[in-house]
Structure 1
Amino acid sequence: MLNLQEIPRVKTISKEDFVNQYLKPQKPVVVEQLTADWPAYEKWQLSYISEIAGQKIVPLYDDRPVDHKDGFNEPHAKMKMSEYISLLQREPTNYRIFLYNLMKEVPSLRNDFRWPEIGLRLVKQLPMLFFGGENSKVFMHFDIDYSNILHFHFHGMKQCVLFAPDQTPYLYKVPHSLISREDIDFDNPDLDKWPALGKAKGYITHLNHGEMLYMPEGYWHYMKYLTPGFSMSLRAFPRRLSNLVKAAYNVFVMRHFDNFMRKRKGQIWIDEKNERAVMDTHKRLGIVK
């Protein structure tokens, strides 16, 4: 089993306490009642989203392995929102909506939440939404822009596993990407096959309706929808200069280089990166397999 500790929880928190206890030291926290006075707390259920956005065509992603033919964040399918929500409510599905600015399509949703005064300069043009069905998973990754993230969950329950950036050497990071090996089962990892994971120390929590998880800059995260539901992320640019430089490299260099190599070498490039993730990790840690 992974070495995970529960993420601290508070019911409410002042701006000063959030900054001093979590933002500055870059530690995660769950705030349980931050949304209690939002209209979204009562309104944001799947049925409500289907009612007001049912005709919108939404991009869908599943858990298939990365293929060289896939573009960066290219969806695997598209569907009307009403049809997708009916699917979520009817049966388990691997289809997820990922990093979708639904509020651009349905501006009235902006009236349902309030920008938290919590000590972060949030990017107000980017309130992104995420949807998933029962037992659907978001592979272990970190975000390309190293943002500080306020992650709010609605309708049901979601499991979140986090690792700080200093745990990267143990997570089988795939070179020139933002992900770990996709064939690792982070619910029940095979530590004989992936021994470096036994050295990693991380965090876990289960988000309920209306709760907010703070994820610091560059934190790895693996998400699993325990029930159908959806989440919203509010973001703030990294405060640390080193992370801002890494974000710029990822956006302007790394992803373009990776796309170029996929076109040039095809699936061989993907396979080589996956092999290197294991070889480099074990070599760096002195693990003989």
Structure 2
Amino acid sequence: MQLKPIEVVSNISKEEFVKKYYLPQRPVLMKGLTDQWNHKWTFDHIKKLAGDQTIPLYSNARTKGNKSTYEPVTTMNFGEYLDIMRSGPTDLRIFFYTIKDHCPALLDDFEYPPIGLKYFKRLPALFFGGSDSKVFAHYDIDLPDNLHIHFEGHKRVLLFDPSQSTALYKVPFSIHNAEGIDLDQPDYEKYPALRLVKGLEAHMEHGDALYMPSRWWHYIVYKDPGFSMTLRSLPLGPKGKLGMLYNVFFMRMIDNLMRKIQGQKWIDYKNEWAIRRTHKKLGIS
């Protein structure tokens, strides 16, 4: 794959962000944006507020059969999970922990960065991962503009423009690519189109804020135990909003129905379909 470092800026103004990144839909890694409050966001603070909760956990494994993509692999005490995550490598991670529903006290510990995004304040969400955790390449089903803020540790994020969907082997009726693909160790024999993929590489540390425009793919690797908060903004323009409605209310419904009816056969069929379609579009025999 052809990766370039993402553009990094410090203490950006609202006017500059809107003109150079938001309106053109260009990703950027911003430093200094959360300096006034990011010191509060630590594992110990989370454990103090929510350590007694029972939380669902996910792993690096893809969902099989007729199980929902959103079905966890296990549940655990939140405080126990944080201890396990900090004691050594684990691929267990927390997906979409909504602050308003599960720990509203955290709403007092941050400020929405005033950079021109119209935040959907119902859904600030947290994501946690141990040092073996990976989040497979995907884009968000509701097509938001995301401000992704990282705390504790370091993580690596690869970003891909929507135009790279074909070369990434996008799976039909899904928001991810073919299941056999490992972007850390691409198999160019089986997936030769990956050689054509162009993307951006970001390395995040505590307090960094990553702007991910609507429809952009992201692949995430936790280098150390850490967690992030995503602040969502509705997609720009009527096309983006119609796409969001299609994905959430039609595409996801069809995919869930076919999973229930055909189980693993549907998943395997979609993966084979993705490979055939990509190779046909790109003229790969």
Task: Verify same fold: TM over 0.5.
Answer: yes
Contact 1:72-1:255 within 8 A present in 2 as well:
no
Instruction: Extract unaligned runs of 5+ from structure 1.
Output: none
Query: Which residue is 2:68 aligned to?
Result: 71
Tell me the distance in 2 between the aligned counterparts of 1:241 and 1:105: 32
SS of 2:15's partner is: helix
SS of 1:170's partner is: coil
Tell me the distance in 2 between the aligned counterparts of 1:19 and 1:92: 39
**Paired residues for 1:13-162 under 5 Å:** 13-38=12-37, 41-162=38-159
> Post-superposition shift, 1:191?
1.8
Paired residues, what number?
285
Query: Which residue is 1:185 aligned to?
Result: 182
1:268 aligns with 2:265: yes
1:204 aligns with 2:201: yes
Tell me the distance in 2 between the aligned counterparts of 1:182 and 1:226: 22
Instruction: Extract unaligned runs of 5+ from structure 2.
Output: none
Contact 1:66-1:270 within 8 A present in 2 as well:
no
Name which of structure 1's ranges 150-159 and 261-270 shifts more when overlaid on structure 2. 261-270
**Paired residues for 1:164-175 under 5 Å:** 164-175=161-172
> Post-superposition shift, 1:240?
2.8
Tell me the distance in 1 between the aligned counterparts of 2:185 and 2:257: 34
> What CA deviation, in whole Å up to 9, does each residue of 1:87-109 have, x standing for no partner?
10112111110111134222221
> What CA deviation, in whole Å up to 9, does each residue of 1:217-276 have, x standing for no partner?
110000000000000000000013222211111100011111111111121111101111
SS of 2:232's partner is: strand
Query: Which residue is 1:7 aligned to?
Result: 6
Tell me the distance in 1 between the aligned counterparts of 2:247 and 2:185: 30
Which AA in structure 1 matches 2:21?
Y
Tell me the distance in 2 between the aligned counterparts of 1:153 and 1:184: 26
Q: Normalised by the size of structure 2, how large is the TM-score?
A: 0.97
> Post-superposition shift, 1:72?
4.1
Give the alignment partner of residue 232 of structure 1, picking from 229, 234, 240: 229
Which AA in structure 2 matches 1:29?
V
> Post-superposition shift, 1:135?
2.5
> Post-superposition shift, 1:69?
2.5
> What CA deviation, in whole Å up to 9, does each residue of 1:118-171 have, x standing for no partner?
111100111000000003100000000110000000001010000011111100
1:254 aligns with 2:248: no
Contact 2:63-2:69 within 8 A present in 1 as well:
no
Tell me the distance in 2 between the aligned counterparts of 1:182 and 1:100: 25
Tell me the distance in 2 between the aligned counterparts of 1:49 and 1:68: 34
Tell me the distance in 1 between the aligned counterparts of 2:153 and 2:249: 37
Aligned-pair identity (%): 47
Which AA in structure 1 matches 2:217?
W
SS of 2:193's partner is: helix
Query: Which residue is 1:245 aligned to?
Result: 242
Contact 1:6-1:204 within 8 A present in 2 as well:
yes
Which AA in structure 2 matches 1:97?
I
SS of 1:203's partner is: strand
Q: Normalised by the size of structure 1, how large is the TM-score?
A: 0.96
**Runs of 4 or more above 4 Å deviation:** none
**Paired residues for 1:214-233 under 5 Å:** 214-233=211-230
> Post-superposition shift, 1:66?
2.3
Tell me the distance in 2 between the aligned counterparts of 1:245 and 1:107: 31
